Amino acid sequence: MDHREAGLRSLSGRALRTAVPVALVTLLCLGAQQTRAQETAAAATESGPFLFTAARLLAAEPDRVDEALDLFERAVAAAPDAPFLRIGLAEFLAEKLRRFDEAAEHTAVAYRLAPDDVDVLRAHASVLVSLPRGGGGQLDEVLDQALEALERLRRLAPSDIEGMMLLYRIRERLEDYEEAASVLEELVSYHNGHRQLQGLLVDAFRRAGQEDRAEEVRNEMLRLDGLSLEARMELAHRESQRGNHTEAIELLEGAVAEQPESIPVRGALAEEYFRRGVARGRTPQQRAGDLAEALDRLRALPRAARANPSARLLEARILAESGQRSEAIELFEDLRRESRDDPRIVRELVPLLMREGEWSRIRDIGQTLVDRADRSTAEGAQSSDLGLSLLVEALRQLGEVDRALEVLAAEEKRGGESAELVLSQAELLAEAGRKRRAMALLRRDVVANDRLLRENDDGEPELPALVKKARLYFDLGADRLALRIYEDLVANGEVRRLMLVAESCREQGRFSESIPFLLRALARIDAGAETGLDVEKNTLRAALRFQLGEAYERSRRYDEAADQFQAVLALQPENSHAMNYLGYMWADNGENLEQALELIRRAVDLDPNNGAFVDSLGWALFRLGEFEQARRHLERANQLVPRDSTILEHLGDVYVALGDSQRAREAYEQALAINDEENVESVRRKLSELARR
């Protein structure tokens, strides 16, 4: 993934695996006699994460606390710079042994290592406030340290209930009632309908002397109390539609508490946990937690309710998003067969089969849809079209190009000649290297430019067909013919068409060709032309300038790219993607490094769990020579976005700079295994350089 544009994606999180094979734990505890091969395995058992996992398992057994402590301490000794290991040891010392001073020492180190990690901030503050109370000055110092961590947490994760409740209690202890109420008010805004939090907020406002505010919250509580079950579900649905999934969950949780046997409410709650889990901005840890909760809630329904097709469809979706693709596929397959190949089910099943490389199964599904569809109805025609596209693509993937061409020819014979069928045949031929036959097809009357440019029944030219034809000409090396189509298409100066052509160029990696179309679109907007889009003009200007900046950067016109990203920020000062792109570009080129760092820090402040942004931050620090800080951020980026080749390459680079060749090799090998064409050659070269050392 290229992080110049990766900021456009939703990326984030950290997950800690806590399950290990029992045999390995036994091997660790018994210290078995080992052969040379076993010695290699033993080295793995002395790694920090392995020891930590084993310690967690032993800590759950009351009579093995001493053994657990020994393993925790060995884990930290093996990886002293891993914040999560120190947090785990600190929590064990505090909760199991009540050794708060030692716990605080470890959380302080973790805080220095990872001052932006929400788990570290929460744990550090929690341990600090648990310390035995000393004299006034000492207590003030401890509380100040806890407040510093919690205010940082508030900035990064203001919806964190545990952390914000701790901050609220400290403010109350300090009799800073207005600030305590402010903390709670912000927290309640993220958890609409949370009865306990609202009750605390009423009391907090009263202690702060804000009776009017207290009464407002109290009235809101009474309003919710008076809502019927149906009204609560409708309110939750509206919140969900607005993307406020946490608020919807709070409302549904309240409804379940009042009517625990209501199947519709319990089912809606399971679905809402799923929706929040897959929503943008969730960390991998939060995502996994929500999906697990959704599955638990769903499977807790009575058997008859779980057998409902809607419930089974939700279960299949949860399994798919949880990475349990085999189970999801089988459930989707059952639903497909029962529904007689409902296209909606097929569209969810096929991407899973694609990821598993199950092209033979996709071919069979496509063939079934084609054979079964009743083409006399609109629905049947759509089903047939879907089946045909799946069948042809599967045959292409299986290397059966001639068979795919036969299928398209048969469809043409059955339904008559069409631009779509001709272009699909040309596409297959072009990919197979049969250039002459492909060019001959593109000269047929049905795909003639003037014919496709004529308005169809909708009053529009055949835009998709024209774009596809142009792209085929590019693929066949006929650039002049491709550009002629694009020029004909935008001859009327319509902004929407200019944007379509620019995006088509971008998708083919033809960034330099997209630039004139983007500039013309901007000029038309500035001249007052109607866009035909329901978007505010400055928003559209910012989007076009962002694309223009990307196109200039990909064309190695870096100064012009910087001008465009700065223009985006002038229009949208909080556009974190523009901050990240510009900052990463400068850092990658070794230019304006301090400015780059400032821009990326602002982007991370706005979206702290965006793995691409965190990677950019680590990379800027690396280019500034701050290798230890860079390592910390790049390791966090790797936790937020596992299996990303760019992040892994950056990690390898920083490990090399720190003299850790073994970890560098591991990072590079993981990056190479992903086989991302963006950096596969550079990673292979770096591995070779390491081998020569």
Query: DSSP secondary structure string, 543-574?
Result: HHHHHHHHHHHHTT-HHHHHHHHHHHHHH-TT
Percent of the chain clearing pLDDT 90 (strictly above): 58
pLDDT grade for 24, boundaries at 50, 70 and 90 = very low
Residues 291 and 208 in one domain: no
Q: How does pLDDT run across 359-383, given as a tens digit for each residue?
A: 999 999 999 999 988 888 988 899 9
Q: What is the DSSP letter of 131?
A: S
DSSP run (H or E) holding 533: none
Do both 154 and 61 map to the same domain? yes
- As a 3-state breakdown, the chain gives helix, strand, coil percent values, each rounded to 5, of 75, 0, 25
The span from the CA of 8 to the CA of 498, in Å, is 22
88 vs 425, residue with greater confidence:
425
Query: Cα dist. 35→38, 488, 571 in Å?
Result: 5, 73, 66
612: Cβ contacts below 8 Å, ≥ 6 apart: 1, 3, 6, 7, 9, 11, 580, 637, 641
pLDDT on residue 242: 83
Q: Which of 323, 338, 373 is the last residue of a domain?
A: 323
State residue 225's pLDDT score: 66
The answer to whether position 658 is within a domain reads no
Same domain as 267, residue 199:
no
Pair (194, 269) in one structural domain = no
* pLDDT class of 455 with cuts at 50, 70, 90: low
pLDDT at 8: 38
For the ranges 161-165, 374-378, 566-570, the one whose mean pLDDT is highest: 566-570
User: Residues 216, 242: one domain?
Assistant: no
- Give yes or no: residues 88 and 195 share one domain: yes
| Residue 606 in domain | no
Kind and range of the H or E element at 60? none
Range of weakest confidence among 180-194, 282-296, 411-425: 180-194
Residue 105 placed within a domain? yes
Of the pLDDT bands very low, low, confident and very high (cuts 50, 70, 90), residue 131 is confident
Q: Are residues 189 and 114 in the same domain?
A: yes
SS3 230: helix
With 60 as the cut, is the pLDDT of residue 418 above it? yes
Q: Is residue 298 in some structural domain?
A: yes
Sorting pLDDT into bands at 50, 70 and 90, what band is 666? very high
543, 573, 603 — which closes off a domain? 573
193 pLDDT above the threshold of 80 = no
Cβ proximity of 583 and 550 under 8 Å: no
Q: Which two tokens stand for residue 312?
A: 């089974």
Residue 639: the pLDDT is 87
Q: Note whether residue 635 is domain-resident.
A: no
Task: Look at 432 and 44; give whichever has higher pLDDT.
Answer: 432
18-22, 83-87, 456-460, 548-552: least confidently modelled range: 18-22
The pLDDT-based confidence of 268 (bands split at 50, 70, 90) is very high
pLDDT at residue 271, rounded to an integer: 96
DSSP 273: H
- Contacts for 509 with CB less than 8 Å, ≥ 6 apart: 554
Same domain, 77 and 214: yes
Locate all alpha helices (DSSP H) within 61-176, ordered by sequence. 65-78, 83-96, 100-113, 118-130, 136-156, 161-173
Give 548: exposed, middle or buried? Use CB within 10 Å, 0-12, 13-18, 19+: buried
Residues 151-174 have a mean pLDDT of: 89
103 and 154 belong to one structural domain: yes
Is residue 333 classed exposed, middle or buried when 0-12, 13-18 and 19+ CB atoms within 10 A define those classes?
middle
pLDDT at 476: 96
Considering only 11-20, 66-75, 214-223, 676-685, which range has the smallest mean pLDDT? 11-20
| Boundary of a domain, candidates 177, 200, 220 | 220
Which two tokens mark 166? 């701790």
Provide the pLDDT confidence category of residue 133 given band limits of 50, 70 and 90. Answer: low
Q: What is the CATH number of the domain that holds 241?
A: 1.25.40.10
Q: What pLDDT score was predicted for residue 458?
A: 67
Q: Of 48-57, 158-167, 423-432, 448-457, which has the strongest mean pLDDT?
A: 423-432
Model confidence at 258, pLDDT cuts 50, 70, 90, reads confident
Residue 287 has pLDDT above 60, yes or no: yes
> Do 99 and 57 belong together in one domain?
yes
Model confidence band, residue 49 (pLDDT cutoffs 50, 70, 90)? low
Q: H/E element holding 382?
A: helix 378-397
Residue 234's region, left for phi above 0, alpha for psi from -120 to 50, else beta, is alpha
pLDDT at 178 over 90: yes
- 78 in a domain, yes or no? yes
- What is the three-class DSSP state of 374? coil
Q: What's the pLDDT tens digit per position in 571-620?
A: 999 999 999 999 999 999 999 999 999 999 999 999 888 999 999 999 99
Residue-level pLDDT at 138: 60
Higher per-residue confidence, 582 vs 10: 582
Would you say residue 132 lies in a domain?
yes
Please report how many Cα atoms fall inside a 13 Å half-sphere around the Cα of residue 49, on the Cβ side. 7
pLDDT at 17 > cutoff 90: no
Q: Is residue 583 part of a domain?
A: no
Quickly state the pLDDT bin for 247 (edges 50, 70, 90).
confident
Cα–Cα separations (whole angstroms), residue 455 to 180, 462, 470, 557: 64, 7, 18, 38
SS3 13: coil
Q: What torsion, rounded to 10 degrees, do the Cα atoms 274, 275, 278, 280 define?
A: -150
Mean local confidence (pLDDT), 280-288: 81
Checking if the pLDDT of 36 tops 60, the result is: no
Return the structure tokens found at 413: 């014979």
What distance separates the 2 farthest-apart alpha carbons in the chain? 92
Q: Which domain holds residue 544?
A: 490-573
Query: What is the DSSP code (8-state) at residue 44?
Result: H
* 69 and 198 inside one domain: yes
Say what percent of the chain tops pLDDT 70: 90
User: Which of 214-218, 526-530, 583-587, 659-663 is least confident?
Assistant: 214-218
Phi and psi for 492 in degrees, rounded to 5? -80, 0
Claim to verify: residue 179 and residue 88 sit in the same structural domain: yes
Amino acid found at 563: D
Domain count, the chain: 3
pLDDT for the residue numbered 47: 61
- Closest Cα to residue 395, out of 383, 409, 381? 409
- Average model confidence (pLDDT) for the chain? 87
